Structure 1
Amino acid sequence: MKIKSFLAKPFASIVHKNIKKGMLTAVADQDAILKNLIKVGKSTQFGKDHKLEVVAEYNEFRDAIPVRDYEGLTSYINLIKEGKHNILWKGVPIYFAKTSGTTSGTKYIPITKDSIGNHINSARNALLCYMAETGNTRFADGKLIFLSGSPELERIGGVPTGRLSGIVNHHIPRYLRKNQLPDYETNCIEDWETKLNKIVDETINQDMTLISGIPPWVQMYFDELMKRTGKSVGEIFPNFSVMVYGGVNFEPYKAKLHQSIGRKIDGIETFPASEGFFAFQDTQTEPGLLLNTNSGIFFEFIPEEEIGKESPKRISLKDVKTGVNYALIINSNAGLWGYDIGDMVKFVSTEPYRLIVTGRTKHFISAFGEHVIAEEVEHSLLKAAAEDNVHITEFTVAPYVNEGSGKSYHEWFIEFDNVPNNMQQFSEKVDVYLRQKNVYYDDLIAGNILQTLKITPIRKNGFIDYMKSIGKLGGQNKVPRLSNDRKIADSLLPWAQSE
């Protein structure tokens, strides 16, 4: 056993014990965070505008702070860009995390001196919990790869600005620097295909023990490794034992990733975003991700049926229930207030508070009143795929509104690793399972208003080529599972397989 893995054991044990203690005090910790946010926030421009000086408890806070998305904070962000201090949080941010918006274009998410620890320590804690539970510390002695954005930063309003993964790259502990791949110059390459080839050059002959990244981009890395060597990833890296992933639901990618590796390895799922690191997998034996209840973020939740209302009902952690879909709202020491991050979650446990991500609040299909969400389409597709031993590379779903005499339907664009033997039967299975998950969709099919779903196969690497065509290949970019319009669907048609 080498020095890093040896020293990691006692440290992991201490951190793991503290996290387990925190499971018992989650609600109290949330109350304490809210009080601190109010205390600091009342002296900011935002706090004065919203009269935080007269707010003392959660009900008053909820009345004072409306729910908003990024567009609702842009006037304050612009003041920070102008060099103003004490706008959303005390002082000025130490970084802006640059990320793609939907209607707002590029978003600039503040990261403050107080909030940076949430991003750094949460990733560390996920690894340490894994070490403490499994006893596997050997990976700390090998080479570690984090498929990330460029660490090069620009300045916006005097604030260092870049992709979150690139910012975090600057905070990797010195003792792990020698283990980290790829090197700084490679990480700075913007073109994803060029970068990927260079990463393979650097890592193909190394003792890789941990690989981390968004699943579709990890799969691209695996594909290139196998293409060059003719071997499975597990053969290329015999000591590869841990994969860390997040950003999208892992399940649609799981079968093909494990097939590429050629053997079972452990996984650690995380729930990070530019706005904060919200949850991580703390155990290999229980479902769900442990909510980060003591890391500078006060969480609120909007039940699914309230989403989109002018004044939606909001609850704090103590009132959540298992099995209910909620929109996740955050208030943080980064200066984000009543901020709708756009993700939907469902608690699988409240002792402790563990959740799963079920979709995006803006990514659903309700063109006909069905309100189908990502959790439902993923469940339906994966159930059918498992029965037919089919592996899915990527997919997205959109409505097809037939303005002529025929009926409308849901169109599923799917890139298969191996195509079903009978596409029509496979399509019918997926449709049946979706009807079982969503009663509104079932009513529309049963009422002869919609016809059953149609699958449009996408040729190999079609989604990669599509992402390249719109300038979003690599990094933290991902294909939305669901759209309520045809923008993505129609753009994918050039990569559909000809019959």
Structure 2
Amino acid sequence: MKFKSFLAKPFAAYVVKQVKKSMQNAVPDQEAIFRDLLKTGANTQFGRDHHFDSVKTPEEYRQAVPLRDYEGFRPYIDMIKEGKHNILWKGVPMYFAKTSGTTSGIKYIPISKESMPNHFNSGRNAVFCNMAEIGSSNIFDGKMIFLSGSPELERIGGIPTGRLSGIVNHQIPSYLRTNQLPSYETNCIDDWETKLDRIVEETINRNMTLISGIPPWMQMYFDRLIERSGKKVGELFPDFSVLVHGGVNFEPYKAKLFESIGRKIAAIETYPASEGFFAFQDSQEAEGLLLNTNSGIYFEFVPAEEIFLPNPKRIGLQDVKVGQNYAIIINSNAGLWSYNIGDTVKFVSTDPYRIVVSGRIKHFISAFGEHVIGEEVEYSLMKAATEAGVHITEFTVAPMISQDKGKSYHEWLIEFDNRPEDISAFAEQVNANLRKKNIYYDDLITGNILLPLRITPVRKNGFIDYMKSIGKLGGQNKVPRLSNDRALADALTPWKEEF
């Protein structure tokens, strides 16, 4: 055992102890964070605009501060970009995390000195908690990789600005720098395929022990490794023992990723975003992700069905219920106040508080009143795929709207790793699964308002080629699972297959 692995064991024990303490004190910790945020926020422009000095309770706060998305924060962000201080948080942000929004264009999310530990330590805690559970610390004996965006930063209003993954890259402590791959120069390459080839060159003959990234881009990396070496990834890297993933639901990619590895290894799920690191998998045995209740973020939750109402119900952690879909709202020590990040979550446990990410508020299909969400779509497809022994590479769903009654349907555009022998029968099974999962969809089928769903195969690498065509290949870019219009489905026309 090398020196770093030897030291990692007692540090992992320390991390586990701190995480368990946070589990037990989740509600008091949230109350303390709420008070601390208000105290600092009272001396900001936002705090003065919303009378923080007279707010004492969460109920008063909810009356004073309405829910906002990025557009609601844009005037304050613009003031920060103009060089003004003490706008959303004390001083100016340490960084801007630059991210793309579907309606807001480029977004500039503030990261403060106080919020930076949330972004870095949460991922660290996830690894150490799982490492302590499985009893292995040898990941520190080899090389680690995070398939991320470029670490190169520009300056906006004098503030260093870039992709979150690139920003976090600058915060990696010196003792881990020697474990990190790829090289800084390779990480700075913009073209994803060129970058991927360089990553393969730099890693194919190294002792890789931990690999992290968004599942579809990890799969591309694995495919290139197998193509170059003729070996499964687990054979190529005998000490590869931890896969860290996040950004999208793991289930559609899980089977193919493990098939590419060739053996079972620990998989750790994380829930990071530019706005904060919200939850992480702390155990290989427990369901769901542990909510980050003691990391500078005060959480509010809105029942998902109320999120678009003028005055939706907003509750704190102590009032959430297992099984209910909530829009997750954050208040952070980066200066985000009652910020709607656009995700929905469902609690699978309240002792401790563990969640699963159930979808995106804007990513649903309700062109006919069916209210189908991502969680239902993914369950229906993956259940059918598992039973049929089929592996899914990527997919998206869109409505096909007809003016004639009983002629409309959902089109599922799916790229199969191995296509079902009978796609029509496979579609029938997916349709049956969705009908059981969503009563509104079932009613529309029963009432002959909708035809059963139809599957359109997408040719191999079709989604990759589409993402390349719009300049969004690699990094943190993701294919939307659900749409209420035909924009994405029609854009994929050149890559569709007939069957």
Shift of 1:498: 3.0
**Contact 2:456 2:498 survives alignment (8 Å):** no
Which residues of 2 match residues 76-225 of structure 1 at below 5 A? 76-225=76-225
Q: Could you say which residue in structure 1 is the equivalent of 2:409?
A: 409
3-state SS in 1 of match to 2:395: strand
Which residue identity does 1:195 align to in structure 2? K
1:304-351 per-position Cα deviation (integer Å, ceiling 9, x unaligned): 221211111110000000001000000000000110001100000000
Shift of 1:230: 1.5
**Alpha-carbon separation, structure 2, partners of 1:277 and 1:387:** 34
**Alpha-carbon separation, structure 1, partners of 2:131 and 2:214:** 22
3-state SS in 2 of match to 1:443: helix
**Alpha-carbon separation, structure 2, partners of 1:112 and 1:345:** 25
1:230-289 per-position Cα deviation (integer Å, ceiling 9, x unaligned): 211111111111000000000000000001001101111000000000000001111100
3-state SS in 2 of match to 1:103: coil
Q: Could you say which residue in structure 2 is the equivalent of 1:357?
A: 357
**Alpha-carbon separation, structure 2, partners of 1:131 and 1:240:** 13
Q: Could you say which residue in structure 2 is the equivalent of 1:316?
A: 316
Q: Could you say which residue in structure 1 is the equivalent of 2:72?
A: 72
Shift of 1:132: 1.6
Identical pairs, percent: 71
3-state SS in 2 of match to 1:456: strand
**Contact 2:97 2:161 survives alignment (8 Å):** yes
Which residue identity does 2:211 align to in structure 1? I
CA RMSD of aligned residues (A): 0.7
Q: Could you say which residue in structure 2 is the equivalent of 1:498?
A: 498
**Contact 2:405 2:449 survives alignment (8 Å):** no
3-state SS in 2 of match to 1:315: coil
Which residue identity does 2:166 align to in structure 1? G
Please say if 1:386 is aligned against 2:386.
Answer: yes
1:160-210 per-position Cα deviation (integer Å, ceiling 9, x unaligned): 000000000001111110110000000000110000000000000000010
3-state SS in 1 of match to 2:364: coil
Q: Could you say which residue in structure 1 is the equivalent of 2:345?
A: 345
Please say if 1:486 is aligned against 2:482.
Answer: no
Shift of 1:64: 0.7
**Contact 2:399 2:484 survives alignment (8 Å):** yes
Q: Could you say which residue in structure 2 is the equivalent of 1:397?
A: 397
Shift of 1:73: 0.1
Which residue identity does 1:386 align to in structure 2? T
Which residue identity does 1:401 align to in structure 2? I
Q: Could you say which residue in structure 2 is the equivalent of 1:432?
A: 432
Which residue identity does 2:474 align to in structure 1? G
3-state SS in 2 of match to 1:139: helix
Q: 1:421 to 1:485 in 2, by over 3 A?
A: same
**Alpha-carbon separation, structure 2, partners of 1:196 and 1:498:** 31
Shift of 1:137: 0.3
How many residues get paired? 499
Q: Could you say which residue in structure 2 is the equivalent of 1:267?
A: 267
3-state SS in 2 of match to 1:337: coil
1:413-464 per-position Cα deviation (integer Å, ceiling 9, x unaligned): 0000000011010000000000000000000000110000000000000000
3-state SS in 1 of match to 2:492: helix
After TM superposition, where is structure 1 displaced by more than 3 Å over at least 4 residues in a row? Answer: none
1:366-392 per-position Cα deviation (integer Å, ceiling 9, x unaligned): 000011000000000000000100000
Unaligned runs of 5+ residues in structure 2 are none
Shift of 1:404: 4.6
Which residue identity does 1:324 align to in structure 2? Q
